[in-house]
Structure 1
Amino acid sequence: MSTWPTAIIVGAGPGLGLALARRFSREGFALALVARHADTLSHASAQLTDLGPRLKTYAADATDAAAVQTVCEAVERDLGEPSVLIYNAGGYRPGGLTDVTPEQFEAAWRTGCLGAFLFARALLPAMAHAGRGTVLLTGATAAWRGSKNFATLAVPKFGLRALAQSMAREYGPQGVHVAHVVIDGQIDTPRLRQRQPERADHTVLAPDAIAETYWQLHVQDPRAWTLELDLRPAVEPF
């Protein structure tokens, strides 16, 4: 077990997930990265070799309650009791209402909302007992409004926002800062660059800049906590 503070990042992809890992690691955090696929974790590990024993990875399905409990117990055993949870997982299938199957609809909700509930349920009691902790949930513009062909994004994100509000009101008085971050725009990721190689830098959200905001939420004075904020490029219409 380490003597460093520990953060769990669920959804450790090559964009925001990796940027969050780098930002928190600079402050001395040990990192537990969780993703569904082992190759995602292998890529992240290859970018974070300087962390040595401060980095552990866990391949798990965030929608499986037993798997989530197993991961949380392993993180505590390997790195110590987590004081930060960042839920950054999600997935959706664009399409009209009759184009999306019930299975696809449920899968999007399970990844985008249920997984956050499962991880928070496993970790919040210990944070409350310690009287400190941070839970940061990655939202989207779809948390505010449902758009045509995006029900599988809006429904999970509406739920995630409601979950953040409920958890903040329950656990905030116990010393745990819960915040919901609305990502209002496209994040600059390798996948986006493959699809849009000519996209101008100033039109997309920079992962490192987003990660800096997450860090500032973590260190916010509890006398002036943020429950929700929204981030977008300066040129993004809103």
Structure 2
Amino acid sequence: MRSMASSASSRGIAAIVGVGPKLGRSIARKFAHEGYTVAILARDLERLSRFADEIAREEKAQVFAIRIDCSDSRSIREAFEGVLSLGFVEVLVYNAHQSVSHPIISTDISIDSFQKSLAVSSMGPFLCAQQVLGGMVDRGRGTILFTGCSASLNGIIGYSELCCGKFALRALSQCLAREFQPRGVHVAHVVIDGIVGAPRRTSTSQSQQRLLVEEHQGGGGGGGDGSMDPDSLAQSYWYLHNQDRSAWTQEIDLRPSIPTLN
């Protein structure tokens, strides 16, 4: 765990689980920009630490990088010991997923692959939510946001393990919403119905200049190709967190204005 800034936030902790170079990083950046101390969690600690350093420097925020394996209950408990040592977790975003890069015949999917996908998409978010719900209920406030996808709503040929895990995640979100929203905890499921591209920030920092070069060379940013801008998606997560409790959204679908090109 690394601290990347010297001054602590006066707000609660925003814990972002499943931080990669696109959506997770953009969500973390948004909450850091809004004044939160941010804990970012993923398996690759070396890359995670680079993200933490970048976000802390650009947003002048306090950011902590903590390793987690969302398929391992012990790793989740140990990671959240670190998160909770920072203070009260006001926001939990569960963005982790098990990559599935190949549509294959369901009878050829291995038991290990199926079990790991279910663990990351259902057991992982359940255990992460358990770590923070007690504190949220005690304070009568908190937000838990789960990232789903089109596989949360429809079965897809060749992606049985992904769909089963994401269906379970959606059910978990609905169950927790009904149980804990009356106690002040906003729980919502975010359906990302499209391909997330690279961010389209206009800053001229070195990392962003490199990103613009990659996009010019065909790396793909959110926009004209039908992909979704992760910074724009992160705004929706912030919007959900700030909704008045008299009109909480329990599920939201986000998709690009034009179809993604195949």
Deviations 1:39-62 (A, max 9, x none): 331331242132567111111212
Alpha-carbon distance in structure 2 between the residues aligned to 1:57 and 1:121: 20
Query: Percent identity among equivalent residues?
Result: 38
Greater displacement, 12-21 / 51-60 = 51-60
Aligned to 1:23: 30
Residue 248 of structure 2, aligned match among 211, 225, 231: 225
Q: Is contact 1:3-1:80 (8 Å) kept?
A: no
Alpha-carbon distance in structure 1 between the residues aligned to 2:168 and 2:140: 26
Residue 63, structure 1, aligned to residue 71, structure 2: yes
Displacement of 1:2 after TM fit? 5.5
Question: Moved runs in structure 1, 4+ residues, more than 6 A?
Answer: 192-195
Sort the Cα spacing of 1:199 and 1:31 in 2 relative to 1 into closer, same or farther, 3 A.
Answer: closer
Q: Which amino acid aligns with 2:35?
A: G
Displacement of 1:197 after TM fit? 3.7
Residue 121 of structure 1, aligned match among 125, 130, 133: 130
Residue 157 of structure 1, aligned match among 154, 166, 171: 166
Deviations 1:51-75 (A, max 9, x none): 5671111112122222222222212
Alpha-carbon distance in structure 1 between the residues aligned to 2:140 and 2:221: 45
Displacement of 1:109 after TM fit? 1.0
Give matches, 1:162-177, under 5 Å.
162-177=171-186
Q: Is contact 2:222-2:230 (8 Å) kept?
A: no
RMSD value over aligned CA atoms? 2.3
TM-score (normalizing by structure 2): 0.83
Displacement of 1:199 after TM fit? 7.5
- Can you give the 5+ residue segments of structure 2 that lack an aligned partner in the other structure? 1-7, 200-213
Deviations 1:110-150 (A, max 9, x none): 11221100100111111011100000000001111111011
TM-score (normalizing by structure 1): 0.91
Alpha-carbon distance in structure 1 between the residues aligned to 2:153 and 2:236: 20
- Can you give the 5+ residue segments of structure 1 that lack an aligned partner in the other structure? none
Alpha-carbon distance in structure 2 between the residues aligned to 1:199 and 1:81: 35
Sort the Cα spacing of 1:53 and 1:206 in 2 relative to 1 into closer, same or farther, 3 A.
Answer: closer
Aligned to 1:213: 236
Secondary structure in structure 2 of the residue aligned to 1:152: helix
> How many pairs are equivalent?
236
Residue 109 of structure 2, aligned match among 84, 96, 100: 100
Alpha-carbon distance in structure 2 between the residues aligned to 1:36 and 1:200: 25
Sort the Cα spacing of 1:59 and 1:236 in 2 relative to 1 into closer, same or farther, 3 A.
Answer: same
Secondary structure in structure 1 of the residue aligned to 2:107: coil
Alpha-carbon distance in structure 2 between the residues aligned to 1:208 and 1:53: 17
Displacement of 1:84 after TM fit? 0.4
Displacement of 1:23 after TM fit? 0.6
Sort the Cα spacing of 1:33 and 1:221 in 2 relative to 1 into closer, same or farther, 3 A.
Answer: same
Deviations 1:12-59 (A, max 9, x none): 111001100111111100000100111331331242132567111111
